Structure 1
Amino acid sequence: MSTTNNFPKLHNATWPGIVGKGPDSEPVIPFDDLLAYTAAAEVNGIKFDGVDIGLLDPHVDINGGRDEANRLADKVAAHNLKIGSLVAPIWAGSAMGSKESRTVFVDMVRKACQFAQRLNELGIRPYGVIRIDSSCTPSDWAADPAGNTKIIAETFREACDVAADYGERLAAEGEICWGGMHSWKTMIDTLEAVDRPNIGFQADMSHTFLYLLGYNRPEDRILPENFQWDDREALTEGLRELTRALRPWTIDFHVAQNDGTVFGSGSHDKTGRHCLPNDPNGKLDIAKDAGHWLRDEQGRLTKAFNHICWDGCMFSNAVLNQQQTWNDILAALISVREAHGWQA
């Protein structure tokens, strides 16, 4: 296997140890365990470069200030890893909620930016963004699409202004379970309404893939209702249309696999079903299809971000507690970098 390319850097995510876990599901996987699995993964001498982190209890105390950021940096550095993008825990509020709820939303962004600032000062975080969503449902949004998009945009705009004070960019997650972000068209409408230079889009090969099928917004589907999965030409053309629209906004990227269905567990509602990279039901050619996001219409590398991250939520603990799982995930990331990476 060629190892010429050293960019984009390869990151694992820590939030799969939390999302879909909890009292009504399986136990949360400890942060230290996820770091250990990440650091131990190796494929032909190549290892993960870092982790993207959800600033979520019980892994991280968002109210812990500098001491908590220092603790986090020390843990990650001890495994010879870097930190990239951070997930702001905005769900105690809502971008479409009451004035008080929206204030909480923006305050969580502020705290995430403060964490980021300290990690940057410590030299552990050389790249990355702050990830957000609208923290509201598509059905609630649908009660007043124009009015609710305006409210979400106002909240995002305020959050962007806060982030700008820390030199941070915000990435709105392309996932079908968030109101105003649940289709590719509503996502673009929301981003355009925000009208700030430091907001962009976080593409996920699994979540964003569902935009093609129009879940939660059938009128915006790209693939026909009678689409057959063995029609690779139509799927490729659908991905081209989708990425043509969203690529200019994309500032953060998740490598993932999807089987074309939705799934939810724990407190996380229906969303794109993540599959392991070698799942026989996976609909994506990971290395090839990542290129729709990482290259422009002429096939040139965009180099729009310095790292890519694997996202695989809602797998069972039995799967996540196997080292081979992480080796296979690393291999998928390597295949993307070999196909669409660069040397720097």
Structure 2
Amino acid sequence: MANTFPKLHNAAWPGIVGKGAPDSEPIIPLDTLLALTANAEVDGVKFDGIDLFITDPHFSIDSDADAVKRMADHIASYGLAVGSFVAPIWGGAGGGSAMGSDDDRQRFLTQVRKACAIGQQMRAIGIRPTGGVRIDSSVGVEAWDADPVGNTKRIAETFREAGRIAEGYGEYLVAEGEICWGGMHSWREMVKLLEMVGMPGVVGYQADMAHSMLYTLGYNREEDRILPKDFDWSDTATLDAAYRTVADALRPWTLDFHVAQNDGTVFGSGDHEKTGRHCRVDDPNGRLDIVKHAGYWLRDENGNLTKTMRHICWDGCMFPNAVMESQDTWNAVLGAMIKVRDAHGWDE
């Protein structure tokens, strides 16, 4: 019998991230992404749901209860559930730096509170059985580097306060490890930050396979590099060992998981900072064995299923619009997701 968990989700935010700026491609409407997700099918299997970016023009963070109900009904009409959210905690989106002024931090926390309230309502409606609220430090590496100890402490204080807000709504927060966010730009710094926050199960890690692989290369934090410079990518045993080091350190904190591919380079688009490049499932330059390396996150150090993530999501940020608007892209993604679930899933 085929595994039924974790549920398979697509992500809506790649229609916004890196899009909409004068020098970038247009934003892809939410309805386009919902239709592509709902229409994807491989051997009778379809996506179970979609993860959302709670920001205009997809879904306003300032939505009232009626607007949230309308959105829930609209997504349900596509036969999809809702999973994790991305909260717009950045200064340009109405938030502020987690290590900034008191005003910055309050704006950050306000955006978290609004996202958690929407999440709680969608859970009550019944359309959102799983998922957390994604955050980051909302500050660059260079600014953080001016005072690493003090700045990480301040970020941790903000995250801890955000965690208390999330708890009040029955939600949890997931900090996505990307090399562009200060205090989160290396695997060691990410672990240090989460330990300093000290709220396991409430403030955890969102493991994106592509971003997490960049940690092994020491981008923006050379002293935390694991793979040697000029690494020979044909040496899969060394890659596996390095990737497992990162996964073993962060898996105990991992509450949310993104299946993804990466070619070992960094990339930025529009107004998004350079971070791990997401590649297509079938990209010949992809460095990850998607099914095998997904298991590093979905199984513990002894190879046993953790069953922590009841849904997993594909992340393909900053793909060209022509790729994202092709149904073939999402059929291929779904096919890869099914293989991950076949290898590391369960039934109940």
Note whether the superposition's TM-score is higher than 0.5. Answer: yes
1:237 match? 241
Letter in 1 for 2:236: R
1:209-253 C-alpha deviation (Å, 9 max, x unpaired): 100000000100111123210000100111111111111010000
Residues 1:72 and 2:71 aligned together: yes
Unaligned runs of 5+ in 1: none
What is the aligned partner in structure 1 of residue 327 from structure 2? Answer: 323
Deviates more, 1:20-29 or 1:99-108: 20-29
Taking the TM superposition and a 5 Å limit, the aligned residue runs for 1:144-183 are: 144-183=147-186
Matched position secondary structure for 1:74: helix
Q: Which amino acid aligns with 1:199?
A: V
- How far residue 158 of structure 1 moved from its aligned partner, in angstroms, is 0.7
Question: How many residues are paired up?
Answer: 342
Do the aligned partners of 1:60 and 1:68 also contact (CA within 8 Å) in 2?
no
Offset, 1:180: 0.4
1:28: which partner in 2?
A: 27
What is the Cα deviation at residue 103 of structure 1?
0.1
Deviations 1:126-149 (A, max 9, x none): 011111000000111000000000
1:255 aligns with 2:259: yes
Aligned partner (choices 215, 222, 233) of residue 211 of structure 1: 215
Is the Cα–Cα contact under 8 Å of residues 6 and 343 in structure 1 kept in the other structure?
yes
1:193 maps to 2:196: yes
Q: Is 1:339 the counterpart of 2:343 in the alignment?
A: yes
- CA deviations on 1:119-178 (whole Å, 9 max, x unpaired) are 011100001111100000011100000000011001101101111101111000011111
CA distance in 1, matches of 2:240, 2:193: 26
Please say if residues 122 and 128 of structure 2, whose CA atoms lie closer than 8 Å, have aligned partners that are also in contact. yes
Partner residue of 1:51? 50
| Residue identity opposite 2:32 in structure 1 | D
- Measure the CA separation in 2 of the matches of 1:310 and 1:290: 12
Match of 1:140 in 2: 143
Give the aligned partner of residue 62 of structure 1. 61
Q: Distance in 2 between matches of 1:147 and 1:37?
A: 45
Q: Does 1:270 align with 2:274?
A: yes
Give the drift of 1:68: 2.2
Cα deviation for residue 69 of structure 1 reads 1.1
The one-letter amino acid of 2:72's match is A
Distance 1:72 1:266 in 2: 27
In 1, distance between residues paired with 2:70 and 2:104? 29
**Distance in structure 2 (CA, Å) of the matches to 1:36 and 1:6:** 22
Structure 2 counterpart SS, 1:213: coil
C-alpha distance in structure 2 between counterparts of 1:44 and 1:185, whole Å: 41
Q: Which 4+ stretches in 1 moved above 4 angstroms? A: none
**C-alpha distance 226-316 of structure 1, shift in aligned 2 (>3 A):** closer
What secondary structure does 2:250 align onto? helix
Please, what TM-score do these two structures have when normalized by structure 1? 0.98
The answer on whether the counterparts of 1:200 and 1:250 sit within 8 Å (CA) in structure 2 is: yes
1:125 is the counterpart of 2:128: yes
Q: How many angstroms does 1:56 deviate by?
A: 1.5
Contact 2:21/2:271, CA 8 A, preserved across alignment: no
Give the deviation of 1:289 after TM superposition: 0.9
**What amino acid does structure 2 have at the position aligned with 1:242?**
V
Q: Which amino acid aligns with 2:105?
A: R
Residue identity matched to 1:231? D
SS of 1:59's partner is coil
The CA deviation at 1:75 is 1.4
Alpha-carbon separation, structure 1, partners of 2:305 and 2:129: 21
**Structure-2 residue corresponding to 1:289:** 293
- The superposition leaves residues 62-113 of structure 1 with CA deviations (integer Å, 9 ceiling, x where unpaired) of 1122122112201110011100101111002110111101000000000000
Q: CA deviation at 1:206?
A: 0.5
Gaps of 5+ in 2: none
Cα displacement (A) at 1:195: 1.4
TM-score when scaled to structure 2?
A: 0.97
- Provide the secondary structure at the position in 1 that maps to 2:8: strand
Over aligned residue pairs, what C-alpha RMSD do you find? Answer: 0.8
The one-letter code of the counterpart of 1:155 is: T
Paired AA for residue 14 in structure 1: A
Aligned to 1:16: 14
